[in-house]
Chains A and B, each alone.
Chain A
Amino acid sequence: MTPARSLCAALVAAPMALLALPPPAAVAAEATTRALALASLWPDSIATIAYVAPVNSGLPQTPPPHAVPRHTPANVTGPDVGTIVVRGDAAGAAAGGRHSSSVGGRAGGTLTLVPPAGPVFELRTQALTTRRPGVPGSGGLRTEAMARFGDGESRLSLGAGMERDLGAQPSPTRGVFSLGMDRQLRDVAMGLRLEQSRRSVRVTRLVFPEPIPGDTLAPVPISVERTHDVSEITARFDTRWQRGRWKIESAAGVLLHRFASPRRWAQSSFSLGLGRDVALSATIGGSAPRWFALEPSAERCASLGLRLAPGMFPAMARPSAGRAESPIWNLMRGPRGWTVIQVCAKGAGRVELIGDLTGWQPRSLRHVGGSRWELGLTLEPGVHLVNLRVDGGSWTPPPGLPTAADGFDGLAGVLVIE
């Protein structure tokens, strides 16, 4: 497919993909349109049309379901109830390149249990399928249970689950074990995920039969094919930097198992925000394992496109349009004083918190999607003064908290931790 034809296909298919989505008010939808092929940059440039539609009932009209507080804003003790969150997501992609084309889809669901204390538990199921001309269709099904420790700034996750291949070459169910770590340092987010699974590998070996005494003919090697059940380790390291209208994402990994040399892969994406929900995006990289890909591609590719996603660049929001005038403030208490402060600030590009609990140093909350922001802190029992700031505005008391004059011609929110 030539770049010109790819461009035409993208322009035709993108509106159709958007029309196929549920109404934007009901879902948080992400649409990615890759319109131009960069033939000179990479051996197999592609034009891709894709959309991802994570369905999250309740957003954006109401606070996120997991923001149901374990305590009221002033930490009034009451009956602690856990929270169960159910989410679904779906994605589809069609790619056409000079040498190949493919169609794929992915769907999944997540059940999250947020208990009153301790780690957050998550049960996730995903299914995917990929079809390419002349190649039998393939797919996979994965179910994984995870325990997440930490907060919005640092998280450690442990997971165990099962996976099986579907399609033309189905496989038996095999176990998957994983360990993941995420860390947010101001504008930079880093994550490391290690995963171990088992895979059946067919190995062909040449076996030389024992020479027969007296036989003058040289032994003829026999090809023997055996299937080995081997451990496979995948390591993925990804980084994301985002500030203002700029965003750079990279994902790199290595796949190890005993019957092959390590398979390395890397993908990078650069996005320039044109608006809060629109960005010009360029991606370059190799083919990644299907569960780990930053962008789906069957081969090494480079692409340039337009990406649409609600709230992708919150800093690009117009101050007058949906500015977070009354953000929703919420606390989630964990063990040993660990508290996750959640703020739901529609249209906010940056949310900061200051108070004695941060040593009166501004701390940026982590944007966790949509209008949600989070910061995890250890709060000692006592009386704490705290202020919030949205988009570099003035420091104000968090809404809903009792206030007190701060002595500096302002007000501070008073947080009582018992």
Chain B
Amino acid sequence: MKHPRVVGIAVMWLCGLAFMALASDKPPPSSPLDPATSAEVAKILDAARADGLPTGPLKSKALEGAAKGSPPARIVAVVRAHAGALAEARAALGASSGDAELEAGAVALLAGVPSDSLARLRAARPGRSIVVPLVVMADLIARRVPPTAAATSVLLASRAGVADPELLRMRSRVERDIASGTAPASAAESRARWLAEHPGGTASGEAATPVRPRGRP
């Protein structure tokens, strides 16, 4: 072989290009829904599309139900409820809300957050994303904080100008408090009150301890 360097470089490039092409070749997943369920979901999607709602979360919800082995009727009901929640979120948050806010709002509404709390949250944070506050509301409710108390706590902190990272830390602290035996409602309210009074401090109400960035519960 007279020119091994040239051959080597050519082989390297060819292999690199082939590898990149292979790496980008992802086959689309086939639909795991049966035809009848797919048809029902398609109707809901068409209606949502006609109404100007994002359809991505609805498709995702249908696939989630199938992946988690839920019966078809349940999947259709959940997708329908989600579409309704998206419409309600848009009505509460305004037509200019982004898809992420609508999705977070729908998740919060389905968790039990009152619809007017969404509008109040929007008013409390004008010009800023309310995705994280909505996510925190839904999380608090999932941790057995009553919906009204969850909404009130997050609204209180939001009105005090608490930033998203602080809200998320507050959520973690509430989770820890509940795990240690504090009543969910009082855990959320006390943490939010402390945070509202100390918007630049930690959410702990304790000495400023470093917050673990990793997710160990």
Contact = CB atoms under 8 A, between A and B. Distances in A.
- Interface size band for A: 35 or more
Contacts of A67: 214
B119 interface: no
Which 7 pairs show the lowest CB-CB distances between chains A and B? A400-B215, A360-B63, A402-B139, A356-B60, A407-B78, A76-B165, A329-B215
Nearest to A412: B64
B8 A194 contact: yes
Contacts of B61: 407
Interface of A: 63, 67-69, 72-74, 76-78, 150, 154, 156, 179, 181, 183, 192, 194, 196, 230-233, 235, 256-258, 326, 328-330, 354, 356, 359-362, 381-383, 385, 395, 398-408, 410-412, 414, 416, 418
Contacts, number: 162
Interface string B39-60: 0000000000000000011001
Interface residues of B, number: 59
Interface of B: prevailing SS: helix
Interface of B: 1-2, 4-5, 7-9, 11-12, 15-16, 19-20, 22-23, 29, 32, 56-57, 60-61, 63-68, 70, 74, 78, 81-82, 99-100, 103-104, 107, 110-111, 129, 131-132, 135-136, 138-139, 141-143, 164-165, 168, 171-172, 213-217
Nearest to B75: A408
B214 A330 contact: yes
B63 to A, nearest CB: 4
Nearest to A343: B215
B139 A414 contact: yes
B215 A328 contact: yes
Given A401-B215, A404-B111, A416 B8 contact: no
B4 A257 contact: yes
B217 A399 contact: yes
Nearest to A237: B15
A149 B3 CA distance: 29
Contacts of A68: 213
